[in-house]
Amino acid sequence: MKTDHKFLEVKNLKTQFNTPEGTVYAVNGVTFNLSEGETLAVVGESGCGKSVTMMSIMRLIQIPPGKIVGGEVIYRDNDLLQLSEEAMEQIRGREIAMIFQDPMTSLNPVLTVGRQLTETLRTHTPMTPEQCRERAQNLLELVGIPDAKKRLDNYPHQFSGGMRQRVMIAMSLACTPSLLIADEPTTALDVTIQAQIIELVKELKKSVGMAMIWITHDLGVVAGLADRVLVMYAGYVVEEALVDELYENTLHPYTLALLQALPRADRRRDQSLKSIKGSPPNLLVEPRGCPFAPRCEFVQEKCITENPALLDIETNHKVACWVDVKTGALR
């Protein structure tokens, strides 16, 4: 976790969208890195730029209206943002795979599951159709779908939501990628099915040994899954820490407010929930000052005029905030 930072390095990534209403500042200089085999969780509310960051890394942003205006994505010594589309196609699906939030819409309803499962294999490997089919069957067995051989000829509508998400995971694992990006893979699922999928992913991660980026808004899911966590707000990373550190020694007012706004199923109720005042930021306005300042209970004058950089405050703990939340004074 500490030594090898050469696996994936994202530096100062900026993505914007041109819309009729003006420029949407979706990602405003995101920097992080990932080691081999590590699980990183990216947490934030809708519109915080977590999905756009990952889509930018995969170069899946539609251009126009989107545009990656700056930054680098260094994956094993290559800047993915500089690669040709052909070279990028060799990486997508083979080296870096992605699973999406909604298993209902990310499968093609008119193709059999077997056909969709073998697509990556047909694109990236010289396997014969028979070998592809056999591999697809193994993959379905790996993700715990009973009667795999028969199920290959089924269509997506013949699977339940949880089963479809298993199919998606099987698809992403087809070429044994070294990095799996999961964009809210369990948000559309019920809790008991979510627990099944999380257990499955944990086991697969152990056996395949891949690194993973897990995007979510659920701080409960993060707690049980991640090694390290990035908290995003309005297109910025506001806090980054190892998982225990983040929950026990929270340094950013936004992270703190999120944790206090969460009811707990494991505790008796002691008081009303602490709510975060105001509403999520308008990304059409070019950010000036700290984006969280209008909603922050620790806000100081400096916060309104100057945006704090993401700095190492403690070992393995970065935060972008002028204020020390323990004293309420400027750092």
Partner 1 sequence: MTEPLVRVENLTKHFPIRKGMLIERVVGAVQAVDNISFTINRGETLGMVGESGCGKTTAGRTLLGLYPATSGKTIIDGHSVYEARGSELMKVRRKAQMIFQDPYASLNPRWTVNSIVSEPLRVHNLINTRKERDERVKELLELVGLNARHINRFPHEFSGGQRQRIGIARALASEPLFVVCDEPISALDVSIQAQVVNLLEKLQDQLGLTYLFVAHDLSMVRHICDRVAVMYLGVMVELAERDELYENPLHPYTKALLSAVPVPDPRKERERKRVILSGDVPSPINPPSGCRFHPRCPVAVERCKAEVPEWREVRPGHHVACHLVEK
Instruction: Pick the stretch among 25-33, 110-118, 269-277, 316-324 that binds partner 1 (CB under 8 A).
Output: 269-277
* Residue 223 makes contact with partner 1 by CB under 8 A: yes
Q: CB of residue 256 vs partner 1: minimum separation in angstroms?
A: 12
Q: What character string, x for contact with partner 1 (CB under 8 A) and - otherwise, covers 127-156?
A: ------------------------------
**If binding means CB under 8 A, how many residues of this protein chain bind partner 1?**
44
Estimate to the nearest angstrom the gap between the alpha carbon of 127 and the chain centroid.
31
Cα separation, 216 vs 146, in Å, equals 28
Beta-carbon contacts of 131 under 8 Å, excluding residues fewer than 6 positions away, are none
* Residue 306 makes contact with partner 1 by CB under 8 A: no
Q: CB of residue 246 vs partner 1: minimum separation in angstroms?
A: 8
Classify burial at 221, counting beta carbons within 10 Å of its beta carbon; exposed 0-12, middle 13-18, buried 19 or more.
buried
With tokens 């936004």, the residue in question is: 254
Q: State which of residues 76, 205, 217, 302 lies at the interface with partner 1 (CB under 8 A).
A: 217
Strand segments (E) across the chain: 8-19, 22-34, 39-43, 66-75, 78-79, 96-99, 179-183, 211-216, 228-233, 236-242, 311-314, 317-319
What does the block give as tokens for 104?
Answer: 């209902």
With tokens 């004058």, the residue in question is: 301
Q: State which of residues 29, 70, 280, 287 lies at the interface with partner 1 (CB under 8 A).
A: 280
* Residue 275 makes contact with partner 1 by CB under 8 A: yes
Instruction: Pick the stretch among 21-29, 149-157, 186-194, 296-304 that binds partner 1 (CB under 8 A).
Output: 186-194
Q: State which of residues 2, 150, 157, 269 lies at the interface with partner 1 (CB under 8 A).
A: 269
User: Does residue 161 sit in helix, strand or coil?
Assistant: helix
Contact of 194 with 186, CB cutoff 8 Å? yes
Q: What character string, x for contact with partner 1 (CB under 8 A) and - otherwise, covers 103-122?
A: --------------------
* Residue 196 makes contact with partner 1 by CB under 8 A: yes
* Residue 157 makes contact with partner 1 by CB under 8 A: no
Q: CB of residue 184 vs partner 1: minimum separation in angstroms?
A: 13
Strands 317-319, 311-314: pairing kind: antiparallel
Q: CB of residue 92 vs partner 1: minimum separation in angstroms?
A: 30
Strand order in the sheet with 66-75: 22-34, 8-19, 66-75, 78-79
* Residue numbers at the binding site for partner 1 (CB under 8 A): 45-46, 160, 162-163, 190-196, 199, 217-224, 243-244, 247, 257-259, 261-266, 268-269, 272-277, 279-280, 295
